[in-house]
Amino acid sequence: MDNNLLTAMVERWRKETHTFHLLEGEMTITLKNVAMLTELPIDGDAIIESSHKPLNGWGQFISERLGINIPEEAQEGRRVPPLHKSMLLIPWLVRTVGELPEDATDAQIERYARIYLICLVGGFLFPNKSGGNMHCMWLRVLLEDWDEIGRKSWGSACLAMIYSELCKCTDPKTKQAGGLMFILQLWGLGAPSYFRSNLPCQQLGSR
């Protein structure tokens, strides 16, 4: 990641308008940009999920749909258990399920497909600052609306998270950002003259 570029972009972001304020005017990353850079669908139903826990808790919710019992104690030197404050530890999930058996049944294949999507969504599309945890609210989409997953507007959700993380970064106390920052970086590199310094660069050997 180009931290210098991302820092320059954050410094020019205005959360009141969700745009970058530049000498040339205002500009921002759009839904079309996200679609072109990621090929994620931008049409379809919006992803609007509640962050409230299910009646029986997230642990029971995951156990019923994935057949995985989540321990309540911390493991491997960690201070918190794999499921803590509605956050699921993705590396623990990967280690727990292991590799898909060669003689896997259709039910096992579907189970591993769901787990793969959980890792993709939580670890790549919507990563938080830790890079290893995902909020369990995404499980409502990935474990309940199985037939509707491909019809969701994932690109819109990614753009919304990028906007949200940029707004959080305007707070001087914020040190890290989540979301698809590499998409923001690719978009920023497409318009380098807007985010780079105009100071002359002296060539080596010219002195």
Q: Which residue has the higher pLDDT, 167 or 207?
A: 167
Work out the mean pLDDT of the chain and round it to a whole number. Answer: 81
> How much is the pLDDT for 204?
56
- Whether the pLDDT of residue 92 is over 60: the answer is yes
Domain boundary among 116, 134, 151: 151
> How much is the pLDDT for 78?
60
Average pLDDT over residues 88-107: 85
111 shares its domain with 70: yes
Determine, yes or no, domain membership for 207.
Answer: no
Residues in the chain: 207
Average pLDDT over residues 174-194: 76
Runs of H (alpha helix) within 98-153:
106-120, 139-144
Determine, yes or no, domain membership for 16.
Answer: yes
In sequence order, the 6+-apart residues with CB closer than 8 A to the CB of 170 are 10, 13, 14, 15
Determine, yes or no, domain membership for 97.
Answer: yes
Whole-model pTM: value is 0.78
Question: What percent of the chain is predicted at pLDDT more than 90?
Answer: 14
Order of strands, edge to edge, in the sheet holding 25-27? 13-14, 19-22, 25-27
What token pair was written down for 51?
Answer: 């962050």
Q: CA–CA separation, 180 vs 186, rounded Å?
A: 10
In terms of residue numbers, what domain contains 74?
57-151
pLDDT confidence band for 76 (50 / 70 / 90): low
Strand stretches in the chain, DSSP E = 13-14, 19-22, 25-27, 83-84, 87-89, 133-135
In sequence order, the 6+-apart residues with CB closer than 8 A to the CB of 87 are 128, 133, 134, 135, 136
Average pLDDT over residues 33-39: 91
